[in-house]
Amino acid sequence: MWRLQYAKDLNGFISAEPLFEDISMYDFKGLSRVIVGALTGPGAKLRQPKRAWIERIREQCGDLHIPFFEKNNLREIMGRKLIQEKVGSRQ
């Protein structure tokens, strides 16, 4: 995914909102933060991210000590308290 490499080079974080596909297969090493969210507005219910995608992204962030932030619009999908880590919260 060329956009992931571009984002890493440009600003050091990924904001995958809305998340339309599993991006966990990409290497997040070197990122300062990863943000994920769902589509909102008309038709949003038809294109929601899969919980498994979000969990895999979160696991990779945890392994690499990268702060991970779930937008509030994921509350229904995740069915648990959202993870909303701030930059500098993982060392």
Give the residue-averaged pLDDT of 60-78.
Answer: 96
pLDDT at 11: 66
Closest CA to 70 of 21, 35, 22: 35
Which distant-in-sequence residues (6+ apart) come within 8 Å of 73 by Cβ?
Answer: 37, 38, 40
Question: What is the value of pTM for the model shown?
Answer: 0.85
Residue scoring higher pLDDT (91 or 58): 58
Structure tokens at 16: 């995958």
What are phi and psi for residue 21, nearest 5 degrees?
Answer: -155, 165
Examine the pLDDT at 2 and tell me if it is beyond 50. Answer: no
